[in-house]
Amino acid sequence: MELFKSMNTNAGGNSSNTNKPVEKVKVLILGSGPAGYTAAIYAARANLNPVVYEGIQPGGQLTTTTEIENFPGYPNGITGNEMMEDLKKQAQRFGTDVRFGIASSTDLSSRPFKVTIDEEKVIETEILIIATGATAKYLGLESEEKFKGQGVSACATCDGFFYRGKDVAVVGGGDTAAEEATYLAGLCNKVYLIVRKPYLRASKAMQERVMNTPNLEVLFEHVTKEIVGDMTGVNGVILTSTKTGEDVKRDISGFFVAIGHQPNSDIFKPWIETDEVGYIKTIPGTSKTNIPGVFACGDVQDPHYRQAITAAGSGCMAAIDGERYYAENK
């Protein structure tokens, strides 16, 4: 699911915005995950009156997580929805204006920056903070959707702890899949790595780690046909051999998808530098993009960690970078 729509944008800006109502703000934050709300908390406390547009998925990807146990300050754990509601309330307490709406196009050619919302109105902002996140890629199976949060996950670091001592499967053949599988092997009884091709695409070092992990079995030339389970969650996976066409079943409690993420950055690409995947490039050690006054935080600029706590930290950085830029360029 894309949090922010990809609409037609061109390097010449949005001529279609001419007749749309315009609202001027100091700070506009796109995205309502840990990065967006943390940026809002800091910006609001600096009297910058931030406006947050939540996007299609208010609260971001954390709202698809049932239990969060690795975010500091919650000794008994907390659900993703509850945590995001707490962050939202904290941001609103300091005066953040939180709105439902989708950024559909942008014109970042000059300040104030112009962002079109729902193709209906234009926000002109002195500071733009991009916190639109990255969407995990899934296989597209009905059973996968059915068991999301009940055994199907796209983050081993987030959810692996719940499967300690159990059997799990990871699908993917690149570095991410290899890392997730070896991480899970340290927690779980048995890990199956499901690879469509007859080889791993992962780096040589990661391949060696996989092959040298005793409780990790690589199932080459297999694809996932169906994830099976009951009301309590996942209890198995049916695989099809691409070599013989035969189906095989493995009993598992967890199914981890590790085929990559798609940064929600398309509407910014005419203006903002990204890597080949689409992650926004920031100056190392900052949230600054190639355009002064535009800052990026959270998973949209982080291909490595993708954790709530690191996203929140980068949201803080974006707000502080933005506040300093605003003070110097009023």
pLDDT digit string, tens, across residues 29-45: 999 999 999 999 999 99
| Contact of 35 with 298, CB cutoff 8 Å | yes
At 17 the pLDDT is: 60
- Mean per-residue pLDDT of the chain: 92
Q: How does pLDDT run across 215-261, given as a tens digit for each residue?
A: 999 999 999 999 999 999 999 999 999 999 999 999 999 999 999 88
| Contact of 143 with 47, CB cutoff 8 Å | no
Local structure of residue 281 (DSSP, 8 states): P
Tell me which residue has tokens 């959707």: 145
Q: What is the largest CA-CA distance in the chain?
A: 67
Q: Which tokens belong to 303?
A: 């291909």
> Mean pLDDT, to the nearest integer, of 74-84?
91
pLDDT above 50 (res 100):
yes
Q: Which residue in 131, 158, 49, 47 sits closest to 315, CA to CA?
A: 131
| Contact of 193 with 181, CB cutoff 8 Å | yes
The span from the CA of 135 to the CA of 147, in Å, is 17
Pinpoint the alpha helices (H) of 172-283: 175-185, 204-211
Distances (CA, A) of 20 to 52, 120, 239, 271: 20, 6, 52, 22
The span from the CA of 31 to the CA of 82, in Å, is 17
At 62 the pLDDT is: 80
Distances (CA, A) of 288 to 177, 281, 292: 30, 8, 7
Across the strands, what pairs with 216?
191
317: amino acid identity, one letter: M
pLDDT above 70 (res 102):
yes
- How confident is residue 11, by pLDDT bands cut at 50, 70 and 90? very low
Q: How does pLDDT run across 156-209, given as a tens digit for each residue?
A: 988 999 999 999 999 999 988 999 999 999 999 999 999 999 999 998 999 999
Active site residues: 155, 158-159
| Global confidence as pTM | 0.81
Q: Which tokens belong to 320?
A: 């502080």
% helix, strand, coil for the chain, step of 5: 30, 30, 45
| Contact of 5 with 53, CB cutoff 8 Å | no
**Domains in the chain, ordered, with CATH?**
15-135+261-328 (3.50.50.60), 138-257 (3.50.50.60)
324: amino acid identity, one letter: R
